[in-house]
Amino acid sequence: MSTEEDLLANYKKAYDNRVGFGTRPALLLIDFCQAYFEKGNALYAEVDEALASALRIRSVAHAAGIPVILTNVVYHPSGFDGGRFFEKAIPLRNFTQGNPMAAWGPGLEPLETELVVSKQYPSAFFGTSLASTLTAAGVDSVILTGLTTSGCVRASCVDAMSHGFKTAVVAEACGDRHAGPHEANLFDMNAKYADVVRRLLSQSATETLLKHSTTAFAENALPSDRRTRHRFAARQRRNFAIVRWSQGMELQLSP
């Protein structure tokens, strides 16, 4: 038996449970900032594919009526609001106000319908109103994408679970500067805090989702009141998308 097989067998004795998706999810895109895409920058991490995957999921989330939230890291030019984190991690100087490396990554700009949460620490929940915002909106689960797997994604994952949200982490839509910490942290998150998703949405799967969402919506009698009708439609799209995801038709859960 290989070392990897020993590890899997060992963990399976204690950590072999899946939580699944909730019924009212939100999608988070965590810290897709220019510094990670800028060759020559200390934070450069070859994570273009992770961003591309996150953007595909974002498109499907919007079509399904799922809230989308972007996070970034922003510091006062002095770094005073970064505390010990800013003191310890020197590359965080990239994220001071006005630094071009703090801009959004290639092809990513927040839409008017998307919430942007700016933070100073690894977790999207620490020192922000994110948990309260999601709770007030009736969200019961979060789907995490972003950078880096071993840093802000992991911290956000642990805090999401701690706040009571069912949590899924999309492996291919997360990235790190090396495969070692990326895979190690995915393994640990999947064991203890979240369900790690291993296969991403393809274009054909996206089209299938949209087609079936439209069909499911059309087959239901709509309330006459306009506001209620919009809420009903959004709920139908959300519920159908999550059923499709949980069945593994678009996203297949890792073993």
**Catalytic site positions:** 152
Angle between helices 48-63 and 226-246 (to 10 degrees): 140
Residue 171 phi/psi, 5-degree rounding, is: -55, -50
89: which residues sit within 8 A by CB, 6+ positions away?
none
Nearest to 32 by CA among 82, 89, 85, 70: 70
Name the 3-class secondary structure at 51: helix
Biggest CA-to-CA distance, the chain:
63
Name the strands in the sheet holding 25-30, side by side, starting at the edge strand that comes first in the sequence.
Answer: 115-119, 68-73, 25-30, 141-147, 166-175, 195-197
CB 255 within 8 A of CB 186: no
